Structure 1
Amino acid sequence: MAVLHFDENSFESEVMKSDVPVVVDFWATWCGPCQMIAPVIEQLEADSAGKYKVGKVDIDKQGELAARYGVMSIPTIVLFENGEPKKKAVGFQTMDQLKATLGI
């Protein structure tokens, strides 16, 4: 499975109603740290083994979603469980740091 791309239309079904935890990367194309963490996000998805989903929200195209979840800096990676944001990581992090911060 590949990293998913969420928008206002898919967020409800893919994240809020997901039966597994969902890691959401709030990012933008112009953001250097977002580009740096992209391979980490892709590897996180590759390591998920169906235990969780991984997706991205482009804040320039989905500003309302970013505002709804209090995204003030990017990248912001949020772990959603049962439709609720549970843990958050802000800024570039290595794979080990990100997994420890999110508890996955």
Structure 2
Amino acid sequence: MEEVTIQQLDELIQQEEFVCLYVYTPMCGTCQLANRMVSIVQELVSHVAFRKTDINYMPDRAVSWEIESVPCLLLFRNGEMKKKLYAFQSVPYLYEVIQELQKP
């Protein structure tokens, strides 16, 4: 999963129909496990743009998006945030949530 800056992320959200942003901190043990789960899902849904960012480098965006904790997965569709996940539960669960987001 590619790391992005805020500027790159803003461009991506406007350009791509579906974007999944994984938000983490390097010192978070749960984030490391969640990263592996998201990476597996990324391989299953290759038509969705997956990116990640360290919340420490985007404090203003963390406030405006109301990110309460990490790990967090933000799901965007057509430039708008549609879902925010904190409890990743399992790879099948994440896959289903992303598939549901893509339904018209």
**TM-score surpassing 0.5?**
yes
Residue type of the partner of 1:22?
V
Structure having the higher helix fraction is 2
Superposed CA RMSD in Å reads 1.6
- Structure 1 pair 68–79 and aligned structure 2 pair: CA distance change class (3 A): same
**Normalised by the size of structure 1, how large is the TM-score?**
0.84
TM-score normalised to structure 2 length: 0.84
2:39 is equivalent to residue 42 of structure 1: yes
Give the Cα separation in 1 of the matches to 2:35 and 2:65: 20
The number of aligned residues is 100
Question: After TM superposition, which residue ranges in structure 1, 4 or more long, deviate above 2 angstroms?
Answer: 99-104
| Gaps in structure 1 of 5+ consecutive residues | none
Structure 2 segments unaligned to the other structure (5+ residues)? none
Query: Equivalent residues in 2 for 1:23-102 (5 A)?
Result: 23-50=20-47, 52-102=48-98
